[in-house]
Each structure stands twice: as C-alpha cells, then as structure tokens.
Amino acid sequence: MSIPFYDEVGGHETFVRLVDAFYRGVADDEVLRPMYPEADLAPAKERLTLFLEQYWGGPGTYSQQRGHPRLRMRHAGFHVDPDARDRWLAHMRTAVDELELPPLHEATLWDYLQRAAFAMVNTFEPSGIGPSADGLGAASLPVSSSPPPNAVPPPSAPH
C-alpha cells in the first residue's frame, strides 16, 4: 500500500503552512484580493486547505462540506485572465518555496498548481479578477441552438 502524498509531505500542518503563506501575498494583491468578498480571508484559507488536503489524499472534509470541487464552475463568476493567473502562481510559488519540500515532492506539487492555474483562465480580456456584473466570466457567449442570421454554412464534407 502506498503512502498518500498528503502524508509524505507532512499532512495537515504542511497544507496549512502552504495556504497561510499564499494568502499573505493575496491579501495585498490589488488584482487578486477582490476575488474574496469576505473582509477576513479565513474562510477562503479554510476552503483552499480542505480542497488541497483532499486532492492529495488527506481527509475528504472538503467534499463532505461543499460537495464536488467543480473548480471551473466555482471560478466561472470571476474574470480570471493571464495576469491574475500569473499573480496567483507568483504567490503560490513563494508559498511552495517556504515549505522547503524535497525536490520530487516540490515538483509534483508545483506541476499540479501550475496546471490548475492555467485551467482556471476564463478570459483574455485585461479585466483582472473579480466578480463579473452578470455572474458570468468575460469570455461567456450567449448560447443559441440556431445560427445567427446571415451565418455562412460550414463547407460540406467530401463524400
């Protein structure tokens, strides 16, 4: 039986340290801070800690309290552009470095965090991160089952 990554890196205390260090940077970031409506970042810290612990093989408390993570859906109401992604990654890089994990553990964690950050980008508009007026990401388009008037039909496939 293999040991979960969660336990290999030190369990709960490691993830608390990671998240605390990350939110120290977010607290003063003019692009990221508006994503968190609470005056206190404690609820966001708790959610991220629980999510990361569960993802890496720790307790399933996140799903017990909040259901399936559905990360893209939970972030859809925010404009997450490349600048916001890069700021998020910069603060997370600082936090990961503070853990001083063995190289393989550090690389494993960092690889996931990078992939997750890139997956959250939902707009390329320079609007930063924050709630959109209609609750949809800036890249959202109206959905219609019929083509717009004057639409050019796609070319026919060869027979």
Q: What is the pLDDT of residues 74-130, one digit of tens each?
A: 555 677 899 999 999 999 999 999 999 999 999 999 999 999 999 999 888 776 455
Concatenated DSSP letters for 26-86? Answer: HTT-TTTGGG--SSSSHHHHHHHHHHHHHHTTS--HHHHHH-S--HHHHHTTB---HHHHH
Q: For residue 91, what are its two tokens?
A: 């603060």
The DSSP symbol for 136 reads S
pLDDT value of residue 64: 83
Per the listing, tokens 């404009």 go with 79
pLDDT (tens digit per residue) in 34-89 = 888 888 899 999 999 999 999 999 999 988 887 766 665 655 567 789 999 999 99
Cα 81 versus chain centre, distance = 12
Say which amino acid occupies 15: F
pLDDT (tens digit per residue) in 126-137 = 764 555 444 444
CB 125 within 8 A of CB 138: yes
